[in-house]
Amino acid sequence: MTRVSRRNLFAGAGGGLALGAAAGFGAAHAVGDDTTAARDAVDLTRSYDFYTGDHQAGIATPPQRHCIFMTFDMVDGVSAADLQVLLARWSAAIAQLMAGEPVGQVEPVRSGAVGTDTGEALDLAPASLTVTLGLGPGLFDDRFGLASKRPKLLEDLPALPSDQLRPGTTGGDLALQACADDPQVAYHAIRDLARMGKGVVDTGWTVMGFGRASAGAGQSTPRNLMGFKDGTRNIEETADLDEHVWIDDDPAWAGGTYWVVRKIQMNIETWDADDVADQQQVFGRTKVEGAPLSGRVEHDEPDFSATKDGAPVIPPTSHVALAAPENNGGTRILRRGYNYTDGINELAQLDAGLLFVGFCNDPASFIKLQTRLGTSDRLNEYISHIGSALFVAPPAPRRGHYLGEALFG
């Protein structure tokens, strides 16, 4: 009948569509190597498989350009069976969406019928959409009889130094993250999944991320809204992912990961009025090249012992120094953040920041890093952690199965 495949519409284009802002980004700055644009080219026809039976997409996947994050809370009185049906329906729908297919009829045949899919992504390519599901600690309380299924390390994050959390932007029983190279594709996914959950889950809080603020394998390091490259030393290698990211000692959750989300508001107006030399001291890197202050080019290893006139070249309270693995006993987490804006705040200032997204196989890794950063990071003068949540991202299902199925075995 009215089966329209977004993927099919673009099938003739092969892999040659190199669209998006990437080209302009590389060319305009004329920094780094000439291949920046090519490496960051967007192929809107690309799609990822949902049923890998391995890790969920949207974690180690090279970050797409846009990402929408939304939390959900179970409605009072719903049962474990309602949760089970929702996870199964969400899984099937996510498989469709990632393949560039609608989640049902847009224009139903029968009169009086409402559309199953809302339709706004119909003529759009898959755009590398990934939808990632997270389960929050609250799901394992006494409401659904799932306490015995709780992943070993899943607990609410403790209060951390410099936390300025706001009541409306913390926690959540469930989380979805829809990332794509086309923001409309990402929003459509979240919208239709939220709609599917009506009556079983209530929406919690949401952040609409634009512009990736982390690099994945093969991508050049993007800039956050402070204008700096952040995450130059992100995890890329499979061996590092295995060591630091994927859960391997908790059978039901093996291949999954713990997922930290922090909404970090940046006082960008104040930041912009700070002189760039000071900004570089705050970050510990140069602004244009992104080189550590001890080095010359971006990927030079920072030398934290280097001194000039008796003082460290990279200030110990700079962001780079505090976050570096060598200063944290080798602790690393996979970062996959996005820039966001909420418009203009009640003080008439531009309201924007970083949707920090981190993945690790032990939440203690994040807690350790953030404790250090929250205590003495010079950046704290310009940022506020206003939102926070921890989830477990279960492993991806094989065909014929669904996300979180281990909860109901």
Partner 1 sequence: MLQPRRSAALLSVSALAVVALAGCGDDANEGGKDEGSAGGATQVAITAVSGDDGDECQVDTTSVGAGPVTFTVANEDAPGITEVELLSGARIVAEKENVVPGLPEVTFTVTLGGGDYEIYCPSAVEEKIPFTVTGDAAPAPTGGPAKLLADGATDYAAYVQTQVDGMVVGVQALSDAVDSGDLAAAQQAYAEARPFYEKVESDIEGFLLPDADPTENSGNLDYLIDMRASSLDPAVGWSGFHAVERDLFGRQRITDRTRQYAVDLVTNVTALADVAKGLTFRAEDLANGAAGLLEEVQSGKISGEEEQFSHLDILDFAGNVEGAEQAFEALRPGLQEIDPDRVATISDRFDEVNQLLERYKDPSALGGYRPYTAALRKSDAPEMSRRVQALAEALAGLAEKVATA
Binding partner 1 by CB under 8 A: which of 9, 18, 37, 80? Answer: 80
Asked if 29 interacts with partner 1 (CB under 8 A), we say no
Torsional sign, CA 264, 268, 269, 274 = positive
Q: What does the DSSP 8-state code read for residue 296?
A: S
Distance between CA atoms of 245 and 250, rounded to whole angstroms?
13
Whether 327 and 243 have beta carbons less than 8 Å apart is answered as: no
Asked if 130 interacts with partner 1 (CB under 8 A), we say no
Whether 320 and 285 have beta carbons less than 8 Å apart is answered as: yes
Asked if 195 interacts with partner 1 (CB under 8 A), we say yes
Q: How far is CA 59 from CA 20, 26, 30, 63, 360, in A?
A: 22, 25, 30, 8, 10
**Residue 110 beta carbon to partner 1: minimum distance, rounded to whole angstroms:** 5
**Residue 373 beta carbon to partner 1: minimum distance, rounded to whole angstroms:** 33
Binding partner 1 by CB under 8 A: which of 11, 38, 113, 344? Answer: 113
The values of phi and psi at residue 172, to 5°, are 145, 140
Asked if 408 interacts with partner 1 (CB under 8 A), we say yes
Q: List beta partners, residue 223.
A: 229
Comparing CA positions, the residue from 96, 141, 135, 298 lying closest to residue 215 is 298
Binding partner 1 by CB under 8 A: which of 41, 78, 153, 350? Answer: 78
Pairing of strands 257-266, 174-180: unpaired
**Residue 335 beta carbon to partner 1: minimum distance, rounded to whole angstroms:** 31
Asked if 327 interacts with partner 1 (CB under 8 A), we say no
Binding partner 1 by CB under 8 A: which of 11, 38, 81, 364? Answer: 81
Binding partner 1 by CB under 8 A: which of 29, 49, 79, 344? Answer: 79
Asked if 105 interacts with partner 1 (CB under 8 A), we say yes
Asked if 110 interacts with partner 1 (CB under 8 A), we say yes
Asked if 308 interacts with partner 1 (CB under 8 A), we say no
Whether 64 and 41 have beta carbons less than 8 Å apart is answered as: no
The CA-based angle 386-196-82, given to 5 degrees, is: 95
Instruction: Look up tokens 């759009």; give the residue.
Output: 124
Q: How far is CA 24 from CA 30, 38, 63, 95, in A?
A: 10, 11, 18, 32
Asked if 141 interacts with partner 1 (CB under 8 A), we say no
**Residue 320 beta carbon to partner 1: minimum distance, rounded to whole angstroms:** 41
**Residue 393 beta carbon to partner 1: minimum distance, rounded to whole angstroms:** 18
Asked if 122 interacts with partner 1 (CB under 8 A), we say no
Nearer Cβ to partner 1 (51/210): 51
Asked if 108 interacts with partner 1 (CB under 8 A), we say yes
Asked if 299 interacts with partner 1 (CB under 8 A), we say no
Asked if 376 interacts with partner 1 (CB under 8 A), we say no
Asked if 167 interacts with partner 1 (CB under 8 A), we say no
Torsional sign, CA 273, 275, 281, 286 = positive
Asked if 111 interacts with partner 1 (CB under 8 A), we say yes
Nearer Cβ to partner 1 (152/198): 198
Asked if 53 interacts with partner 1 (CB under 8 A), we say no
**Residue 99 beta carbon to partner 1: minimum distance, rounded to whole angstroms:** 8
**Residue 79 beta carbon to partner 1: minimum distance, rounded to whole angstroms:** 4
Q: Structure tokens of 392?
A: 């477990």
Q: How far is CA 120 from CA 8, 94, 103, 106, 162, in A?
A: 16, 16, 12, 9, 41
Binding site for partner 1 (CB under 8 A): 1, 3, 50-51, 75-82, 84-85, 88-89, 91-93, 95-96, 101, 104-105, 108, 110-114, 116, 195, 198-199, 202-203, 397, 399-402, 405, 408
